[in-house]
Amino acid sequence: MKPALLLYCQHSVGIGHLMRSLLLASKLAQHFRVVLLNGGPIPTGLDVPRNVEIVDLPPLGTLDGHELVSRDANFDLDRAKSQRKHLVMQVYRRVAPAVLLIELFPFGRKKFAFELLPLLKAARRTPGTRPLVLCSLRDILVAARPDQQHHDDRAAWLCRRYFDAILVHSDPALARLEESFKPRRPAGIPVHYTGLVARERATAPSVRSSHLLVSAGGGLVGFPLLRAAIDAQRLLWPASGRRMRLIAGPFLPEPAWQALCEQAAGREDIDLVRSVPDLSAEMRVAAASLSQCGYNTAMDILCARVPALVVPYAQEREDEQRNRAGRLEAMGLLRVLQPDRLHDVELADALTHTLAFAPNESALALDGAQRCADAVARLAQSRPAARAAAEQAHGMA
């Protein structure tokens, strides 16, 4: 019997955190009995690993990254928080994990401290076989908060108090943690770079289709991009004759979806789709891609090796996507259009140039899921408490 690993993931605006956590969970299951605490809605048709137990918490999310809201009409916010806190602790006691892996917190997800701090305190106080506590962190953090220094100092303090190591899902050639995390006192725990967490890389087709692909990730904040793309297509279609395939995303609000349907009605040059199971597969056959620049979308672009134009999501203090896009553009891997230039004429011109763009071959490590799983297994084996739990589990087999 494998030792248990409890993975906590909360996706609040997009779907990238969930997709990355599912990829990690599928590889971690080679070494552990993985239980995933999922804090947001799972889109219909999403491929969930069969070797991973999913425990769905009453789904919560945020409006534009700020106000916390319930994503289930059966729960108001207070009831959802109470139920979640109880369920998180119930699952922790049932699973008795050798490893506790928490996605993003304490570098983000401050609004979910109500359930995460009790979990971390329980892990710290577990007698005899305290679990190995790790943070799963994306490549680049938001670093433009009004209280950024206080935020970083608090995160470092929580790391020192509750965590054993940080797993950064980045290639250091792209981004290092200290570039977007600058506490006055270091976190004081090991940092391990796993490489970027991407889907399995497939061979690019020798001949691509002629259509333009437009996607908006989960879709919750993708409406302005999708609407602008349809407007730009009125200029592109007469000159290029290329159809445009738009994938709205499962979380695009229904009123926005209806508005797009009305905008595209009767257009032979527009193919409008609600969602697809594999965006990377769509990118591999497209002539060019237009999207935002979230972590997972960026990984799909790199794996598909598609000529890509990105318009980073950059509302208020959200600078993560702009930062990632700029670094990838500097490597010659994609092209960037800033959000304040998202107008039909400029977008049509940028897409025309993207069609002629040949991206460089990426040298970035894209096998981060497997590297992460192997690293966690090594860390668990080297920790006496975790090793004792593993031996006890094997003795029960």
Residue ranges of domains in the chain: 4-196+367-396, 212-355
pLDDT at 53 over 90: yes
Residue 126: pLDDT band with limits 50, 70, 90:
confident
Of 253 and 16, the structure prediction assigns the larger pLDDT to: 253
Q: Identify the pLDDT of residue 393.
A: 45
pLDDT at residue 208 greater than cutoff 90: no
The sheet carrying 99-103 orders its strands as 52-56, 33-38, 4-9, 99-103, 132-137, 165-168, 191-193
Residue 203: pLDDT band (50, 70, 90) is low
CB 159 within 8 A of CB 187: yes
What's the confidence (pLDDT) of residue 11?
87
The topology (CATH level 3) of 212-355 is Rossmann fold (3.40.50)
Instruction: Please state the rounded mean pLDDT for residues 234-253.
Output: 94
User: For the chain, how are helix, strand and coil distributed in percent, rounded to 5?
Assistant: 40, 15, 40
3-state secondary structure (DSSP) of residue 362: coil
Is residue 200 predicted with pLDDT exceeding 80? no
Does position 386 have pLDDT exceeding 50, yes or no? no
pLDDT of residue 389: 46
In this structure, of 240-249, 308-317, 324-333, the range with the lowest mean pLDDT score is: 308-317
Q: Are strands 33-38 and 4-9 parallel, antiparallel or unpaired?
A: parallel
Of residues 12 and 358, which shows the higher confidence score?
358
**4-196+367-396 matches 212-355 in fold:** yes
User: What pLDDT does 110 receive?
Assistant: 92
- Asked if pLDDT for residue 334 goes beyond 80, the answer is yes
Q: How many CB atoms lie within 10 A of CB 52?
A: 20
pLDDT at 395 (0 to 100)? 44
Percent of the residues in the chain that have a pLDDT greater than 90, as a whole number: 76
> Mean pLDDT across the stretch 362-383?
94
pLDDT bucket at 44, cuts 50 / 70 / 90: confident
Q: Is residue 387 scored above 60 in pLDDT?
A: no
CATH topology for the 4-196+367-396 domain = Rossmann fold (3.40.50)
DSSP assignment of 300-326 = HHHHHT--EEE-----TT--HHHHHHH
Token couple for 127: 């007698």
Task: Summarize the confidence of residues 117-136 as an average pLDDT.
Answer: 92
- C-alpha to C-alpha distance for 41 and 107, rounded to whole angstroms: 22
Please report which confidence band the pLDDT of residue 301 belongs to, taking 50, 70 and 90 as the band edges.
very high
Among the residue ranges 27-31, 216-220, 252-256, the one predicted with the least confidence is: 216-220
Helices (H) and strands (E) in the chain, counts: 12, 15
pLDDT(369) > 90: yes
Higher pLDDT, 350 or 388: 350
